[in-house]
Structure 1
Amino acid sequence: MTYVDGYLLAVANAKKADYQALAESAAVIFKEHGALSVVETWADDVPEGKVTSFPMAVKLEEGESVVFSWITWPDRATRDSGMKKAMEDPRMDMDPSNMPFDGQRMIFGGFEAVLEA
């Protein structure tokens, strides 16, 4: 079963192209270091919740959209090694002040697949 890194963040609509360019660059790096796939999605049908929701989770502000992304890896060991190499890759050395999203509102985590149908 695969291993999945999941990400949830808010991106300003005005920075969608900047985010997409960053995501495309990062995807190349992750795949070079063992990722099977990288998927980036832009909110299309993401309702506000009363108790919990994607918008609430990232403290979505006016003029922003929710981005839901994931990276699949063959297994946890490949992910641990590949993620370390990707983060050490000089192409990933980016100025945090130039990021097209607020990293403090980004939610992320690693998940072991329990079903693949």
Structure 2
Amino acid sequence: MPYIDGFVIPVPTDQKQAFIDHATIVDAMFLELGATRIVECWGDDVPAGKLTDFARAVAATPDETVAFSWIEWPDKATRDAAFDTMRDDPRMRDTPIPFDGKRMIFGGFAPVLDLTA
């Protein structure tokens, strides 16, 4: 099974295109380094919960939209090598980040079930 990185990101709503532009650059690097699929999603139906929700998880403000993204890798070793390489890539330093990365939540996940139609 592949290895998955997941991200939840609060993005200023008026920075949607900047987010897409940023993702286009950074995601191309992930693909160069072995990612097999990347999906970037813009919050469309993200309800407030009674105890917790996506917006609270990243302390999103009313002028922000929650983005949800994932990267599929062939395995964790490929992902780890890619992240190590990207840390030193000047494109990462030179690409403006249109959101508060301190409030982004992310993690790597090993799939336990993968169903398709």
**Do the two structures share a fold, i.e. TM-score over 0.5?**
yes
Residues 5-84 of structure 1: matches in 2 within 5 Å?
Answer: 5-84=5-84
Regions of 4+ moved over 4 Å: none
Unpaired runs of 5+ in structure 1?
A: none
In structure 1, distance between residues paired with 2:31 and 2:72: 10
Corresponding pairs, count:
115
In structure 2, distance between residues paired with 1:109 and 1:94: 24
What TM-score, normalized by structure 1, do the two folds share?
0.93
**Correspondence for 1:114:** 112
SS of 2:79's partner is: helix
What TM-score, normalized by structure 2, do the two folds share?
0.93
> What RMSD, in angstroms, separates the aligned Cα atoms of the two structures?
1.2
Report the CA distance between 1:67 and its aligned residue. 0.4
Q: Percent identity?
A: 47
